[in-house]
Structure 1
């Protein structure tokens, strides 16, 4: 197995401490705090491990409360709110140093038949022939400040191939729409529950940046402070995280130092597998006033 993928799967191998208590490991990835997608994915997996396997998760709603410390493990405390005939509900608090850093509620449903429709997948080029984010990063690394270069080039478990590449270091203002293919780069031999937790992990990559596109902003600007505020997902159909998925995101609004983003995730055959919504903090400080 690819080393980066093995490390990712180790992060999703949660240790069970008690009936409703789990512990996951953190990881530094060049950010100031734990990557939000990792906490969301681990929290969803912890909740799902207390639910019958014949009830897949269909939605999650979460808030990021405090920055996570990537030097410390994360404890997930699961509250079994309800086990009904058709639906199951769980609440999870992610805890570090005795304080909650993240809160998630998730809902599960027995598989049922019903009326069905979906939005069509955008007509975009497939992933074959598109340049990978790794190739793009290699070309751009010399323009980055020295302290970011090592993390920028670190092998990653998820490959992204943007349909319309942008310069992440000096972006030109453009419409707040982003389309990118992605997949875990090696075979993931895991149950559907883990694939959905890994999709929650992947769904946080680049989503908040969609709201930054019209403003020509990037995450490396010293006067820009960014953080996820909340995150919601709805799971519609089955998929495999190691097969190509298209992530189309758009941002209808930014204001009050916040940006709103919506996303749709499709299988390569056009099936809509998930919808995403997130609001993020985008705070612009004066250049002579460092972010707190």
Structure 2
């Protein structure tokens, strides 16, 4: 019997339908395709055109239009460069022939070199922390006019100090969340990169709203991811707990900027993110 993680992977792993052309589908969603999904699918498409001795180390992407989860997504890969140690691919994701997402992804052979590592924040471990899904389910059941029921996903999120959404608590734009995929992803590091790419779009936009009396469920908020950058630094497992440490140093012009760091439980900084988000308060 397929597990929930198998079902998620069936959407994130795209189907090759032509030379450097791939097709992806989406799980049912009420409004639009989740940005982390189309980013992960684009990474899978690009990875399939690269030698197996090279892993992704950097992704720079733009969310161009909302995706319709009822329609297939076509991923077109352009082989931009194949060097001795680096490989670059561009990917455009389209629906009905119109681009909804594009990204450039760089791959690198394994090299030994100089190393240093920022210290992981000193926060409680994941054990004993309430999972996000359980908290949102409680809020949606008790306050159905304010919160939508959460989508069930095989991704576990355990916030260290969750924000009080009932009172639109204003606080410093910083948060720490433990993440992991629920299940066994096997030994292929490319699969772990795809899952972390999916995870990496959670939390960034919410962090930009923390110093304001708003959150993503507010009816007067128009919010969306605008662009996304992701860097892979060191080997990791996405089916083991990773600490996602996030902060937002600035918000201006209807946009918020956030950045994040993924740490393994033994303190290694394994990946970094940055994102600009639309955080527009509706006037009507």
Question: Normalised by the size of structure 2, how large is the TM-score?
Answer: 0.96
**Match of 2:172, SS?**
coil
Which sections of structure 2, spanning at least 5 residues, go unmatched?
none
Q: C-alpha offsets along residues 18-50 of structure 1, whole Å, 9 cap, x if unaligned?
A: 1200111112334x2100000001001100110
In structure 2, the residue matched to 1:283 is: 280
Measured in 2, the distance between the counterparts of 1:4 and 1:29 equals 16
In structure 1, the residue matched to 2:74 is: 75
- 8 A contact 1:15–1:23 mirrored in 2: yes
- 8 A contact 2:139–2:147 mirrored in 1: no
Measured in 1, the distance between the counterparts of 2:187 and 2:63 equals 27
In structure 2, the residue matched to 1:129 is: 128
Matches within 5 A, 1:155-174: 155-174=152-171
Measured in 2, the distance between the counterparts of 1:210 and 1:196 equals 23
In structure 1, the residue matched to 2:44 is: 45
Matched residue count: 284
- 8 A contact 2:66–2:100 mirrored in 1: yes
Matches within 5 A, 1:1-292: 3-30=3-30, 32-145=31-144, 149=148, 151-152=149-150, 154-189=151-186, 191-286=188-283, 289=284
Measured in 2, the distance between the counterparts of 1:135 and 1:271 equals 29
- 8 A contact 1:2–1:186 mirrored in 2: no
**Match of 1:82, SS?**
strand
Measured in 2, the distance between the counterparts of 1:138 and 1:41 equals 26
Residues 134 and 114 of structure 1: CA distance in aligned 2, closer, same or farther (over 3 Å): same
**Match of 2:54, SS?**
coil
Which sections of structure 1, spanning at least 5 residues, go unmatched?
none
Measured in 1, the distance between the counterparts of 2:26 and 2:227 equals 20
Measured in 1, the distance between the counterparts of 2:270 and 2:26 equals 28
Q: CA deviation at 1:148?
A: 5.6
